[in-house]
């Protein structure tokens, strides 16, 4: 059975994040995140992976990386990386990704928030998977936070708030790229 859900995209966000002290900050772009999230997104059939950063220097860095693997030496050196990064789109802010999906689908995307912190009113992965499949014409955008997670105002913009990922230990501090792979597996698998 084909489990591809063409209406789901992912956005790696760097603005309106929290630091260790709970202060709202802009985080740095991590190139490992770009590579690994692109590979996960492509593996699970997503059409778009947005990298949103307000700083032009960070967008330029992401664009140089993208170009290297799409048209530079990297495109011939590692065709798998070229394919994975083919779905990357660099934007200045979350609203740019929303606008791109609005143009593509003719409707604004439903935002899906994520957080490792516990809280009420969470959507299970199974319920979210059902929602995605029941609304194949509606765009959805899975927001991934960096640093110590998304600020409350950003979380409050979401239409859905996924349950946290729990392991078997009390420790719960996955990298965003690891968390993304787990979430996509849970959302896309039967």
Q: Check which CATH number belongs to the domain holding 69 and give it.
A: 3.40.1280.10
Per-residue burial over 122-145, b = 16 or more CB atoms within 10 Å of its CB, e = otherwise: bbebeebbebbeeeeebbbbbbbb
Q: What is the mean pLDDT of the chain?
A: 90
Q: What is the pTM of this model?
A: 0.92
Q: Which domain holds residue 14?
A: 8-188
pLDDT 10s digits, 58-73: 999 888 887 877 787 7
1 occurs within a structural domain: no
81 occurs within a structural domain: yes
68 occurs within a structural domain: yes
105 occurs within a structural domain: yes
Confidence of residue 1 (pLDDT cuts 50, 70, 90): very low
pLDDT 10s digits, 80-109: 777 888 899 999 999 999 999 999 999 999
156 occurs within a structural domain: yes
If you average pLDDT over residues 154-181, what whole number do you get? 91
144 occurs within a structural domain: yes
Q: Are strands 160-161 and 140-144 parallel, antiparallel or unpaired?
A: unpaired
Domain count, the chain: 1
155 occurs within a structural domain: yes
């Amino acid at each position: 059975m084909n489990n591809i859900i063409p209406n789901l995209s992912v956005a790696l966000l760097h603005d309106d994040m929290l630091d260790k002290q709970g202060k709202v900050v802009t985080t740095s772009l991590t190139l490992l995140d770009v590579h690994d999230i692109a590979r996960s997104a492509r593996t699970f059939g997503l059409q778009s992976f947005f990298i949103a950063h307000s700083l032009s220097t960070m967008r330029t860095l992401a664009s140089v990386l993208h170009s290297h693997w799409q048209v530079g030496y990297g495109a011939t050196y590692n065709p798998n990386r070229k394919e994975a990064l083919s779905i990357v789109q660099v934007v200045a802010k979350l609203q740019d990704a929303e606008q791109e999906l609005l143009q593509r689908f003719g409707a604004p995307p439903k935002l899906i928030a994520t957080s490792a912190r516990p809280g009420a009113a969470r959507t299970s992965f199974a319920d979210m998977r059902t929602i995605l499949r029941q609304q194949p014409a509606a765009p959805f955008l899975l927001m991934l936070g960096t640093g110590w997670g998304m600020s409350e105002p950003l979380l409050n913009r979401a239409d859905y708030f996924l349950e946290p990922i729990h392991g078997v230990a009390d420790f719960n501090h996955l990298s965003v790229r690891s968390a993304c792979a787990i979430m996509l597996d849970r959302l896309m698998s039967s």
